[in-house]
Structure 1
Amino acid sequence: MTLKETIKRCGWADSAPDFPEYHDTEWGFPVDDDRRLFEKLCLETFQSGLSWRTILTKREHFRLAFHSFDFHKVAQFGEKEITELLNNEGIVRNQRKILAVINNAQRALEMIEQEGSLAAFIWRYEPDENTLPPPETQTTCPESIALAKELKKRGWQFVGPTTLYAFMQSMGLINDHAEDCCMRKEIDRARKGFKRPSHIKPSA
């Protein structure tokens, strides 16, 4: 029996050469870093209508193009930067998605002003594990629907319920690793030891 045969992963994790490492080291571990959360929201925006493999293989190009997804810098992008992005062959050159990322960076700054951090706001929508169906059986949940509604209300773009469910899966708000996946118990341990971000709003 080969090593590959002895390691059980989620079905999607062995479907591309660069997926196993992403699956084993990133996907599902809880994240409270605002920049990482913003990056994943942006990458999910660019993934809309495409495969995650396309985005993952271009991720380093995206990071270079968007200043490591520093939303303070992205929020200041103007015509010059937009033109450069549209000419950047290393990323997905979709004008609507590029403009959405710039818009969302501006909305992120507003959210931090209002809520203290992106993490504090987003983790309010962590689903109750006892209410979730078996892993890998759905593409939305009531919490992703509610989060999408609230973000759209606040002016965010490309933040539908399915996009946000995928975001929740990858950022650890949900453990959606398959029951027999080698990472499921490790993600459970990580989530149990994870300190949820404070929900206290900043003082006026």
Structure 2
Amino acid sequence: MLAGPLLLAACASSGTAQAAPSPSGTSPWIWSTAGSVAPSPTTSFAPRARPAAATLPPAVSPSATPTPNRSPACDAAAFRGGAINGVDVTPGTTSAMVTWFNPGGADLVQYRIIAVSQDLVAGAQPESPGWLTVTPGGCGWMSATVTGLVPGTPYVFSVDEVRTREGMDGTRAKTVARSGVVSTT
């Protein structure tokens, strides 16, 4: 208990400048400066108009049947292995053809493809076309067409693979290919 006051006394007698209480009772090393309140932010853009519900194309149900087109030969040299961007997208007005490489494997159950709108909309969000499932065949390039897209809208397309887990029950899914932002025409 006695060490605290002795240390403070030793610091005060070191010959350096000492802090003295100010007349208002606050310490002199706390400074404040009067300022002005920042103005409220204002909107400098006009939100994009959302199409009326009647003009939107019907959404694709997740159980839609795609038309996979596998290449006849497995060309591993053409595969962009390990690259998450290994997908090509050819957009249309309300659909897009998505092409990716299928490395195959006995544990590969299915592919799932989704189109995620990149159009920022205030309020309630428009319905997504949902997951499109594709049954894989042998290794090679595969294609499927995602329908139910909104014309002139930017999308990111993602391809997930679903595989059985060795020695375990169930499956696991992971994203194996993703496009950059692609706009429908």
TM-score (norm 2): 0.22
Find the structure with the greater CA-based Rg.
2
More helix by share: 1
The higher relative CO (CA closer than 8 Å, separation ≥ 6) is in 1
TM-score (norm 1): 0.20
More strand by share: 2
